Amino acid sequence: MIRVVNVKGMNKPADRAGVVYCGRPFAGWKGHALGNPFRPKPGDPIGTCLERYRKWLLARPTLDADLAALWEETGHGTKPLGCWCVTATAGDGAEVVCHAQVLAEMLRERFAAVTPSARASAAGSPPAEPGGGTPHADGASG
């Protein structure tokens, strides 16, 4: 599962190294290409801002490449996305209140569901067994 962590208080380089920051440039964090360019307007529900962000993302001609690059940056989901809003996990049922949650959900939908077994199955190969071997017709591993 792709996690989102709140970066408040992450001032040390060692803390920052374990996070892929995906927000606007702020407090020494370099801005990310997929940072939310929209700020909530006074009186608007947060969902309005997030809907604008989703539309902006989906209209990006480079969205597939951007998400693939972000997936690589996260080490295929092992490093969390960082933002200033919330700590959550994609698909955990928490209310979506942050653009990083939108990104995490897109990453989960596009990449996390593709397990080694699913890739092998799609390629017509038998999935690898837990010990690393492939199953033989007689049931033995090798």
pLDDT band of residue 133 (cuts 50, 70, 90) is very low
Q: What is the CA angle 1-130-80, rounded to 5?
A: 20
- 128 domain residue, yes or no: no
Domain contains 26 = yes
- Residue 48's domain comprises 2-36+44-110
Q: How far apart are CA 21 and CA 27, in angstroms?
A: 12
Q: How many domains does the chain have?
A: 1
Confirm whether 51 is domain-assigned: yes
User: pTM for this structure?
Assistant: 0.75
pLDDT tens, position by position, 24-66: 999 999 999 999 999 888 888 888 999 999 999 999 999 999 9
Instruction: Record the tokens describing residue 138, joined without a space.
Output: 């007689």
- Length of the chain as a residue count: 142
